[in-house]
Structure 1
Amino acid sequence: MTAPSWAAPHATTPLDATVEVPGSKSLTNRYLLLAAIAAEPTHLVAPLHSRDSALMIEAIRALGAGVAVEPGGDVHVTPAATITGGGTIDVGLAGTVMRFVPPLAALADGDVHLDGDARARERPMAAVTRALGALGVAVTHDGEPTDAFPLTVHGTGGLEGGEIEIDASSSSQFVSALLLVAPRMRNGLTLTHVGDTLPSQPHIDMTLAVLRERGVEARELGHGRWRVEPGMVAGGRVVVEPDLSNAGPFLAAALAAGGTVRVPRWPATTTQPGDDLRDILTAMGARVVLDGDTLAVTGTGTLRGLDLDLSRAGELAPTLAALAVLADSPTRLRGIGHLRGHETDRLAALVTEITRLGGSAHELPDGLAIDPAPLHGAVVETYHDHRMATFGAVVGLAVAGVEVLDVATTAKTLPDFPGMWRRMLAPGGTPTA
């Protein structure tokens, strides 16, 4: 059955909106996993509630943690006394769940079965499964070793740890997955990346930071090499930052439609790569001001293309591609070849949909080239990828007649994106999380 299309709102007046962005998916799921192995309960304030975070909650419940969602949205986690095997976990299409949970399941006192959406069976997993093998944990399907879903992790009740090497060229999540569980390894973990590239370094920095916040000794030994010492993970109260990458489409709207969009609770310092938007949007022509904890982006009528290395923040590529098709000069987005292994092959998807809209784009070995071209309305396919949906929404602000298929896929990380988007365009719009 074909998913219904959503008519992307077309802006007819400049924007003047404040957008309350919900909690960071990356931080929420890291905190949830650590809460499951903590020495005491954890109280998460303002976490994300979306499909990805719901999948992580159900995963740690299946492994023995207690999770209570309070009426205001805060989450209270009681750590698992023992990581319990025997269950089945749905990883959906959530990269953090499919990569982070198998190492946690390796600590279980029995087998743990994992599977997900159809696309999950195609996404890279070998770095995690082979790392677990090196740590003495079998990962199989129908009794045979496997590097893909569906799979069974044959939990051993504990891990020795030590020193291992992995190739994390296709995702920094492979590194984070192992470092997050390393405090529970008897010898801790020294991890070395042996691949040619390492995308999304800020997400590894984020993992080290959240480990240190929870009282774990975790550090970078040198480029591509990390050490986490064994020890107790603290619980307590944790306030989750808003998701700066999810703020991207709303901030980009100010350039696409004109006017100003503000995002409150913007952190003064952060490991989220979405913070790079401040410099990137400025370079594209916006006026960007951080006043206290509120970031305001104003369209100036200028929208320039860029030659940009996005290896730090590949998740921003669909939003920046949407602005690039509206820009007055060419754009080159480099360092994002790993996006071919995301929820969909994002590079191929972006070229296909830009072309469908009348634009000019082609793939580079490690990215995209986008050139100015006259655009027209079209029905944009999302490929079950939330960021393809928000790509279509941004373009639709400036191009009449854009429709987005299956906009509901945005619930992966934003529970009410269509409602937030409509309210942003209302006079004095103040969408809430």
Structure 2
Amino acid sequence: MQNTLPAAYTITPPNRPLTGRVLPPGSKSITNRVLLLAALANGTSRLTGALKSKDTVLMARALREMGVNVEEPDATSFLVTGTGKLVAPNGPLFLGNAGTATRFLTAAVATIDGTIIVDGDEDMRLRPIKPLVDALNALGIAAEAPTGCPPVTIRGRGQFGKGRVEIDASLSSQYVSALLMAAPFGDGPIEIALTGKDIGARGYVDLTLAAMRAFGARVRESGEGAWLVEPTGYVAGDFHIEPDASAATYLWGIEALTGGNIDLGVAADAFTQPDAAAQAVIAAYPNMPSVIDGSQMQDAVPTMAVVAAFNYRPVRFVGIANLRVKETDRIRAVANELNRIRPGLAVEEGDDLVVHSDPGLAGQTLPACIETYHDHRIAMSFALAGLLVDGITILDPSCTGKTYPEYWDMLGGLGVELIAGS
């Protein structure tokens, strides 16, 4: 984890191509999935290549509170020993603003015989979870979230029900992943089906299925937008976690904007995470397409939008309505902060984001203090603007610890001068 950071960093444009070797941290999405699956398994699992960040630390702490032995033998490994079941914690599980941990554990704790409260910080208490709560109730599990957001109270029965359950996943694919990962503890087979074809980032469900199978689950697609899960439980095993594709988008952005060359140690087509699709879009800079569908690479949209600010033609981002219920309303946040750099640079049109690209911004001095809204992706993506525009200051840089604790050290290692401020 990173040391205490200043209240702000002002970025000095390097005025040269940035080159070097940077290994992205482990995938947050995969780390939090396999931490949970290893905890639910009977035996000891070694997880390597893992991300140690605020979100994964919160997940590991919650698992320890439910009787799982989670050791950390080195900076990128977890050694997880479970008994095949979780036990009720002594108090509410506090998960900050970790969306994956909150959604996944809301379902997983239903396998406990007892009452559990899953809660988060003030930002997490604004993030919808009602579709998942409704699905749990449909399985016969008493769960309630009076505001439609955390805190959630779950009254578990020691197993996960059986039969068919439908879920609205248009807001988040994490609802589906949460149900899938808990389903092997059913009283019989469980079929999980989408209520419609809309699903936020379907590729993350594929990540979930692959991880489940690695820990012994039997799950198959039973129809379009439906999966059948057998009541197998999980078996312990070793799992290597690939680098984080969302983190890689910042490195691809650095390459594109500075004309540099950064060796990530892994090719873009070697990632299994959906955000890796952003590499081809970013590599097209300064001729990025005029319309970009961000529905299946949502976490990459802030990165692509900042790069698009310097593109040769305007760019419209579509399919991104789900960004309004992330750590912050990312559509509004990106538009606000681009307009802070130059008024009129971006506009919201419904749930689309239109970036009125201006390659003439590069080389200008445009002092702007970028609000980050406690959102790591706003901080990291807008740091890229500071590579070409002088005067960009990122407020609350420590928020990057949520998924990329070494982000600022990485920039410094590439030769970017960061001036600390208060």
TM-score, normalising length from structure 1? 0.89
| Distance in 1 between residues matched to 2:64 and 2:147, nearest whole Å | 25
Structure 2 residue identity aligned to 1:160: G
Percent identical residues:
36
Residue of structure 1 equivalent to 2:44: 41
> Is 2:405 the partner of 1:421?
no
> Is 2:378 the partner of 1:385?
no
> Is 2:372 the partner of 1:368?
no
8 Å CA contact 2:123–2:327 kept in 1: the answer is yes
> Is 2:80 the partner of 1:88?
no
TM-score, normalising length from structure 2? 0.91
| Distance in 2 between residues matched to 1:171 and 1:28, nearest whole Å | 18
Residue of structure 2 equivalent to 1:74: 77
CA offset at residue 327 of structure 1?
Answer: 0.8
CA offset at residue 266 of structure 1?
Answer: 4.0
Deviation per CA, 1:344-374: give whole Å up to 9, x if none.
0000111111111105211233321111245
Mapping of residues 165-184 of structure 1, within 5 Å: 165-184=166-185
| Distance in 2 between residues matched to 1:404 and 1:219, nearest whole Å | 45
Structure 2 residue identity aligned to 1:41: T
Mapping of residues 126-205 of structure 1, within 5 Å: 126-140=130-144, 147-195=148-196, 197-205=198-206
Distance 1:22 1:248, change over 3 A: same
| Distance in 1 between residues matched to 2:266 and 2:165, nearest whole Å | 39
| Distance in 2 between residues matched to 1:161 and 1:243, nearest whole Å | 34
Structure 1 residue identity aligned to 2:252: L
Mapping of residues 13-412 of structure 1, within 5 Å: 13-85=16-88, 86-140=90-144, 147-195=148-196, 197-266=198-267, 269-282=270-283, 284-285=284-285, 302-358=286-342, 359-373=344-358, 375=361, 376-412=366-402
Deviation per CA, 1:64-116: give whole Å up to 9, x if none.
21100003431100114542114321111111011100111111121112211
Q: Secondary structure at the match of 2:353?
A: strand
Q: Secondary structure at the match of 2:390?
A: coil
Q: Structure 2: which 5+ residue stretches go unaligned?
A: 1-5, 418-422
Q: Secondary structure at the match of 1:160?
A: coil
CA offset at residue 310 of structure 1?
Answer: 1.4
| Distance in 2 between residues matched to 1:266 and 1:55, nearest whole Å | 30
Structure 2 residue identity aligned to 1:186: D
| Distance in 2 between residues matched to 1:136 and 1:9, nearest whole Å | 57
| Distance in 2 between residues matched to 1:410 and 1:9, nearest whole Å | 19
Distance 1:108 1:360, change over 3 A: same
CA offset at residue 146 of structure 1?
Answer: 5.4
Residue of structure 2 equivalent to 1:292: none
CA offset at residue 159 of structure 1?
Answer: 1.8
Residue of structure 1 equivalent to 2:3: none
Q: Structure 1: which 5+ residue stretches go unaligned?
A: 286-301, 428-433
Greater displacement, 110-119 / 345-354:
110-119
8 Å CA contact 2:163–2:188 kept in 1: the answer is yes
Distance 1:267 1:253, change over 3 A: closer
CA offset at residue 195 of structure 1?
Answer: 3.7
CA offset at residue 405 of structure 1?
Answer: 0.7
| Distance in 2 between residues matched to 1:42 and 1:266, nearest whole Å | 27
Deviation per CA, 1:95-145: give whole Å up to 9, x if none.
10111001111111211122111011110100111111112222246xxx5
Distance 1:232 1:155, change over 3 A: closer
Distance 1:223 1:102, change over 3 A: same
CA offset at residue 423 of structure 1?
Answer: 0.7
Distance 1:196 1:217, change over 3 A: closer
| Distance in 1 between residues matched to 2:303 and 2:279, nearest whole Å | 13
8 Å CA contact 1:129–1:146 kept in 2: the answer is no
Distance 1:146 1:348, change over 3 A: closer
C-alpha RMSD of the superposition: 1.9
Distance 1:267 1:69, change over 3 A: farther
Greater displacement, 34-43 / 217-226:
217-226
8 Å CA contact 2:111–2:160 kept in 1: the answer is yes
CA offset at residue 319 of structure 1?
Answer: 0.3
Structure 2 residue identity aligned to 1:66: N
Deviation per CA, 1:291-336: give whole Å up to 9, x if none.
xxxxxxxxxxx45453111111111100000101011111111111
| Distance in 2 between residues matched to 1:63 and 1:45, nearest whole Å | 22
Matched residues, number:
405
